[in-house]
Amino acid sequence: MTADPTRPDILVVDDEIQIRRLLRLTLEAAGYAVREAPTAQAGQAELVRRGPDAVILDLGLPDESGIELLRRLREWSPVPVVILSVLGQEDRKVAALDAGADDYLTKPFGSAELLARLRALLRRIKPAVAASRFRFGRIEVDLAARRVARDGAPLHLTSMEYALLQLFVAHRDKVLTHRQILRELWGPNAERHTHYLRTYMLRLRRKLEDDADFPRHFLTESGVGYRFVSEPAGT
């Protein structure tokens, strides 16, 4: 069957037939075209044969780890990848994100959350004219002028706070692990110094969130890292 070019094409790589059926029903009802692969080898063949718009990838495949498939994929493709992980596999989720995954969901997962995260990833990769100004909540960031304002009033950010904000804006709606952020901003020798990051996240939330104790944009992914959400769910 020929894929409909007007519908985003999603490849599901999972060995559980019940999960594949659930994902197919959910995704097709939301307007996506769906292809399935039960193994890493079959997933690799589908990826090469016709590149999808996004991949939903299980970590526990029968012939090979999903992380290994992801690493090979990242050698030649930036396609968005959402990882499926069973409860208690936090270390594997972190490894997958470090290997290049864009997001993850824990089994069992909610269909609405899956669709919301998929929409966010597909929005982020759509070709668009780069804009120097970016808004979220009451905050406006002018990347060209390196200015940040709340309700039009200038906000002062230190150079490191601004660098952290730039990183989140560039990867909005994507989970960034502690290791990724530390390596990017402080270098490879800082990957274990998570206290650096906690300190700067608190500063950023105090300056950019309406309530730093209940952040809506700079979210913690427990045990994994952080996610910047420009449009919180329910808004």
Q: How many residues does the chain have?
A: 235
* DSSP 8-state class, residue 53: S
pTM of the model: 0.69
Tell me the two tokens of residue 136: 């979220």
Quick: pLDDT tens for 100-159.
999 998 888 899 999 999 998 888 765 443 456 788 999 999 876 788 999 999 999 998
Decide: helix, strand or coil at residue 17.
helix
pLDDT digits over 148-158, tens only? 999 999 999 99
List of domains in the chain = 9-125 (3.40.50.2300), 133-228 (1.10.10.10)
Structure token pair of residue 112: 């609405």
Question: What is 159-224 written as a DSSP string?
Answer: HHHHHHHHHHHHTTTSEEEHHHHHHHHH-GGGTT-HHHHHHHHHHHHHHHSS-TTS-SSEEEETTT
User: Under a CB-based contact definition with an 8 Å cutoff, are residues 65 and 19 in contact?
Assistant: no
pLDDT digits (tens, 9 = 90+) for 38-83: 999 999 989 888 889 999 999 989 999 999 999 988 888 888 999 9
* Residue type (1 letter), 233: A
